[in-house]
Amino acid sequence: MLKVDGIYTQYGKIKVLNNVSFEISAGEIIALIGANGAGKSTFLKTVSGLIRPTQGRVTFMDRDIQGVAPEKIVSAGIAHVPEGRHVFARQTVQTNLEIGAFIRSDAAEIKKDIERYYDIFPILGERRNQPAGTLSGGEQQMLAIARGLMARPRLLLLDEPSMGLAPFLVNEIFRIVGQLHEQGIAIVLVEQNVKKALKITQRAYVMELGQILYHGKSSDLIEDDRVRKSYLGET
Amino acid sequence: MEKDAGSLIQNNSSKSAVVRRILITGICAAAILGLPLVVQNTYYIGIANFMIIYTILCMGLNLILGYTGLLSLGHAAFYGIGGYVTAILMTRHGFSFLPALLISGILAMIFGMILGIPTRKVRGDYFCLLTIAFGEIFRLVAQAWIPFTGGAMGIVAIPIPKIFNWVIRSEVDFYYLGLILVGFTWLSLTLLIGSRFGRAFVAIREDDLAASVMGINTPMYKILAFSIGSFYAGLAGSYLAVYQTTITPSSFRLEESCLMIIMVIVGGMGGMLAPISGVIIMTLATEAFRSLAEYRMLIIGVIMVVVLLFRPQGLFGTAAFKD
């Protein structure tokens, strides 16, 4: 579905991604793990078009999308839920979801989708008329995910959805991510919570200093000594 | 005060609220339309006419600043472009007022695009600096290009405007012409804000990055907001030209742009009619303290500080205004 082939990305003269290749099939769920500054967020931003790679190819459903504007990538079927939630703070929950459907014009279906996400995230339904800025961190994260889904993506890029949340909310977010995967959406999950991420994903890529060090089945990586040492804090 | 404004904006379902709303709107409309019948002194009508000019300017600026969140300190330049275009077309090329008005708006919009395209990806403060630079370049060109703009003396003897058989000559005539323009501005901007465009503008203001990943072409919508806002400045400039019958560069200084920003901020950003209160207060203050010459900017500054201390969102802006 998505194939990234040897991309290089830089901010000015600082090289961030160095020959990164990555692949995800339809309906798959993949974790992307690595330390802070490894380039995970930059990788997602490159895929979603927020940053242009200097070299390499990104193909999505047999279309080259490297260097394509972000709004066209959303239309192609990739939704990016950026790190730090980025909800429209002064707009209501409802309006946030409506803006999430910006690329769509099927008003009736949009309404249905909004109701569907109020079912999946009941707390959002209760707060539909509240400004998003008044929600708690966990609720904002749920809103950010639901808003991303409003574009009806085939591939969802989730950047650190559990960051800064209380433990029971972290579990809730992971439960929801698993549920979305079961509905058939392909997901790339960037996470600091490596153990949980490896548990709910099928495969994982480990990134360090802008490169993919290794990748494999999540169930294998969770037993892998390198992963255990570097990311699970075990010796 | 706040509650009243809120219920006016929010669609209250109870019948009494609807009746009250219609009543308030009706009284306001009657008061505005009937003002020249009550106030006979043309000096006061003249002040009202300047309020009208600033209302058009500030509604356009509010689209740029209040809805889309772009701080432009070059609004006076687009106002000036409108003024010079009308002055030149009517004095030298025999245009009548309506086509000159339209062309003024469109040219201001085109210049808005010309400035908007290279600055579309420039962030906040840098964008602001570039708009200041543009405003100053415009004023200097207007001052120096004597064969075309008349230099510091400007363009004089702009003909009396006529719309079909209506000769617009007296202060009262200009008052009603201005009201028509305000009505047009309000109506067209309300339609724009209610459309998906409005949604995109607000999304960009709230969070540029999130807007991008929602599939909003943020550079394009920024250029649109900026050039459409400039269109109204062009209309205001055109009105100024025929109203004053002269156009000089001194009407379009940086101070004018600052004053417009102050009006929008004091009135309240993001609400369609909120800037009008800022326009009224600031115009009255400028008139009342005219004798103090330069020092009146000091008083205007104090007014702004006081308003922002007690109502940071402006007089009629709401902290969580609906888009």
Segment B110-146, tens digit of pLDDT: 999 999 988 887 877 899 999 999 999 999 999 999 8
Question: What does DSSP assign to residue B161?
Answer: P
- Cα–Cα dist B271/B318, whole Å: 8
Q: ipTM above 0.95?
A: no
Q: What is the mean pLDDT of residues B9-38?
A: 78
Q: Is A132 exposed, middle or buried (0-12, 13-18, 19+ CB in 10 A)?
A: buried
Q: How far is CA B318 from CA A132, B55, B61, B67, B185, in A?
A: 15, 19, 18, 13, 22
Residue B13: band (very low, low, confident or very high) from pLDDT cuts 50, 70, 90: low
Q: What is the mean pLDDT of residues A75-85?
A: 93
| Contact state of B206 with A70 under an 8 Å Cβ cutoff | no
Token representation of residue B92: 């030298």
Nearest to B216 among A48, A82, A102 (CB): A102
For the cut 90, the answer to whether the pLDDT of residue A115 exceeds it is yes
pTM for this entry? 0.88
Residue A23 DSSP SS3 = strand
| Contact state of A88 with B199 under an 8 Å Cβ cutoff | no
Q: Which backbone phi and psi does B14 adopt, to 5 degrees? A: -70, 145
- Residue B96 pLDDT: 92
For the cut 90, the answer to whether the pLDDT of residue A203 exceeds it is yes
Q: What is the mean pLDDT of residues B238-265?
A: 92
Q: Is A99 on the interface with B (CB under 8 A)?
A: yes
Strands A55-60 and A29-34: unpaired
Q: What share of chain A is helix, strand, coil (3-state, %, to 5)?
A: 40, 25, 35
Residue B249 DSSP SS3 = helix
**Bridge partners (DSSP) listed for residue A212:** A207
For the cut 50, the answer to whether the pLDDT of residue B7 exceeds it is no
Contacts of B203 in chain A (CB under 8 A): 88, 99, 102
**Bridge partners (DSSP) listed for residue A156:** A79, A187
Tokens 């439960």 sit on residue: A175
CB-based contacts of B230, cutoff 8 Å, min separation 6: B60, B64, B75, B78, B108, B109, B111, B112
- Cα–Cα dist B3/A219, whole Å: 58
Contact A31, A218 (CB under 8 A): yes
B10-45: burial string, b at 16+ Cβ within 10 Å, e else? eeeeeeeeeeeeeeeeeeeeeeeeeebeeeeeeeeb
Question: What does DSSP assign to residue B155?
Answer: B
- Cα–Cα dist B294/A61, whole Å: 65
Q: Give the DSSP H/E element, type plus range, for residue B322.
A: none
Contacts of B212 in chain A (CB under 8 A): 50, 70-71
Q: How far is B221 from chain A (nearest CA, A)?
A: 12
Contacts of B202 in chain A (CB under 8 A): 88, 91
Give the model confidence (pLDDT) of B268-279 as tens digits.
887 888 889 889
Tokens 């079909």 sit on residue: B164
- Cα–Cα dist B285/B307, whole Å: 14
Tokens 């207060």 sit on residue: B281
Strands A203-208 and A29-34: parallel
> Rg for chain B (alpha carbons), in Å?
19
Give the model confidence (pLDDT) of B164-208 as tens digits.
889 888 888 999 999 999 999 999 999 999 999 999 999 999 999
Contact A50, A105 (CB under 8 A): no
A2-231 sits in which CATH class? alpha beta
Q: How far is B321 from chain A (nearest CA, A)?
A: 7
Greater confidence, B102 or A67? B102
For the cut 50, the answer to whether the pLDDT of residue A31 exceeds it is yes
Nearest to B62 by CA among B54, B289, B17: B54
| Contact state of B210 with A88 under an 8 Å Cβ cutoff | yes
Contacts of A100 in chain B (CB under 8 A): 214
- Cα–Cα dist B21/B1, whole Å: 14
Greater confidence, B175 or A225? B175
- Residue B9 pLDDT: 45
- Cα–Cα dist B10/B188, whole Å: 20
Q: Is B323 on the interface with A (CB under 8 A)?
A: yes
Q: Is A74 on the interface with B (CB under 8 A)?
A: yes
Q: What are the residue ranges spanned by the domains of chain B?
A: 1-38, 41-254
- Cα–Cα dist B86/B75, whole Å: 17
Give the model confidence (pLDDT) of B146-176 as tens digits.
889 888 888 998 998 988 889 888 888 999 9
| Contact state of B213 with A69 under an 8 Å Cβ cutoff | no
Residue A130: band (very low, low, confident or very high) from pLDDT cuts 50, 70, 90: very high
Residue A55: band (very low, low, confident or very high) from pLDDT cuts 50, 70, 90: very high
Strands A203-208 and A55-60: unpaired
What percent of chain A stands above pLDDT 90?
78
Residue A192: band (very low, low, confident or very high) from pLDDT cuts 50, 70, 90: confident
Give the model confidence (pLDDT) of A173-188 as tens digits.
999 999 999 999 999 9
State chain A's mean pLDDT as an integer: 92
Residues in chain A: 235
- Cα–Cα dist A90/A28, whole Å: 35
Nearest to B261 by CA among B137, B138, B132, B136: B132
Q: What are the residue ranges spanned by the domains of chain A?
A: 2-231
- Residue B1 pLDDT: 35
For the cut 70, the answer to whether the pLDDT of residue B4 exceeds it is no
State chain B's mean pLDDT as an integer: 87
CB-based contacts of B20, cutoff 8 Å, min separation 6: none
